[in-house]
Amino acid sequence: MKIIQVKNYEEMSSKAAEILIKKVQEKKNVNLGLATGGTPTGLYQTLIEDHQENGTSYKDVTSFNLDEYIGLEKEDPNSYHYYMVDSLFKHIDIEHTYLPNGLAPNIEKECKRYDQLIADHGGIDLQILGIGENGHIGFNEPGTSFNAPTHVVTLEESTRQANARYFDSIEDVPTHAITMGIETIMKSKEILLLISGEKKAEAMNKLLQGDITEDFPASILKKHNCVTIIADQQALSGVLHLQNISN
Ligand SMILES: O=P(O)(O)OC[C@H]1O[C@](O)(CO)[C@@H](O)[C@@H]1O
């Protein structure tokens, strides 16, 4: 894994935007994997500014999001559909965007459909990831099989607590979600993992120094041959001797 150390959240966001924009410019019809949560909002804001100032076009881009809550309407301000439209899609010229449908009548079928859709498009070229404090990627909670395709998850209490900040109350946070599986994520040709803030320092430490184990889902990324981590000083505050463990 290649690690790019940056000063803070702003630097992380602009470095990530630089990499993503280069990808969009280099490859026509590029397939991007996108994430939600607090981590990528600065990246999306930077993409919007670049689109307005430099005209980077997303007309030929197709995007696939990692996950979606089960039971929320697309128009619900807490759905990941809404988040993506509001934080990015409506501000740029992207036309082909996909997220799992958390209201599909047959959720199992929806999971299979989503993986097939990604495969039919030739797979994801660049997947953006954040990381949960417990090491989750997408909504793959600790204990998820590394071989899991897109599937339904029961959200951990700690994940619901962490995401409760977006809802009126913890009771409103859905208990289930659809997430791209670890297998789906690992099929991406390239992965860009963004890690910022002191709250993520322990996860960062475990990722770099710990074993590869299903108890810490992000640890599987060490087996991928093209992962770049952009981490800020606070996230790296618990990591010693970085140069010895960064490859
Ligand atoms: O970026 P945040 O808000 O810290 O969340 C971390 C991770 O948790 C999720 O929001 C899911 O809980 C992921 O989508 C995200 O990558």
**Residue 215 known to be catalytic:** no
**pLDDT number for residue 239:** 86
Nearest to 115 by CA among 144, 141, 149, 85: 149
| CA angle (42 as vertex; 218, 103 as ends), nearest 5 | 65
- The length of the chain in residues reads 247
Q: Which CATH architecture has domain 2-245?
A: 3-Layer(aba) Sandwich (3.40)
Find out whether the beta carbon of 36 lies less than 6 Å from any atom of ligand 1.
yes
Ligand 1: which residue has its CA nearest to atom 9? 37
Residue 241 reports pLDDT greater than 70: no
Residue 240's pLDDT band (cuts 50, 70, 90): low
Tokens representing 185 are 């994520």
Residue 246 reports pLDDT greater than 80: no
**Residue 147 known to be catalytic:** no
**pLDDT number for residue 136:** 96
Residue 242 reports pLDDT greater than 80: no
**Residue 136 known to be catalytic:** yes
Q: Secondary structure of the chain in the HEC alphabet?
A: CEEEEECCHHHHHHHHHHHHHHHHHHCCCCEEEECCCCCCHHHHHHHHHHHHHHCCCCCCCEEEECEEECCCCCCCCCCHHHHHHHHCHHHCCCCEEECCCCCCCCHHHHHHHHHHHHHHCCCCCEEEECCCCCCCECCECCCCCCCCCCEEEECCHHHHHHHHHHCCCHHHCCCEEEECCHHHHHCCCEEEEEECCHHHHHHHHHHHHCCCCCCCHHHHHHHCCCEEEEEECCCCCCCCCHHHHCC
Residue 221's pLDDT band (cuts 50, 70, 90): very high
Top mutation candidate among 13, 78, 99, 136 for ligand 1, by most atoms within 8 Å of CB: 136
Condensed to tens digits (0 to 9), the pLDDT of residues 111-127 reads: 999 999 999 999 999 99
Find out whether the beta carbon of 132 lies less than 6 Å from any atom of ligand 1.
yes
- Ligand 1 centroid vs 243 CA: distance in angstroms? 27
Condensed to tens digits (0 to 9), the pLDDT of residues 28-78 reads: 999 999 999 999 999 999 999 999 999 999 999 999 999 999 999 999 999
Residue 247 reports pLDDT greater than 50: no
**pLDDT number for residue 148:** 97
Please give the Cα distance from 58 to 75 (Å, whole number).
23
Q: What are phi and psi of 97, to 5 degrees?
A: -130, 135
Catalytic residue among 134, 140, 151, 163: 134
Find out whether the beta carbon of 139 lies less than 6 Å from any atom of ligand 1.
yes
Q: What is the pTM of this model?
A: 0.95
- Ligand 1 centroid vs 40 CA: distance in angstroms? 9
Nearest to 216 by CA among 130, 139, 141, 129: 141
Find out whether the beta carbon of 159 lies less than 6 Å from any atom of ligand 1.
yes
Residue 90 reports pLDDT greater than 50: yes
Nearest to 79 by CA among 172, 159, 17: 172
Average pLDDT, the chain: 96
Ligand 1: which residue has its CA nearest to atom 5? 37
Find out whether the beta carbon of 65 lies less than 6 Å from any atom of ligand 1.
no
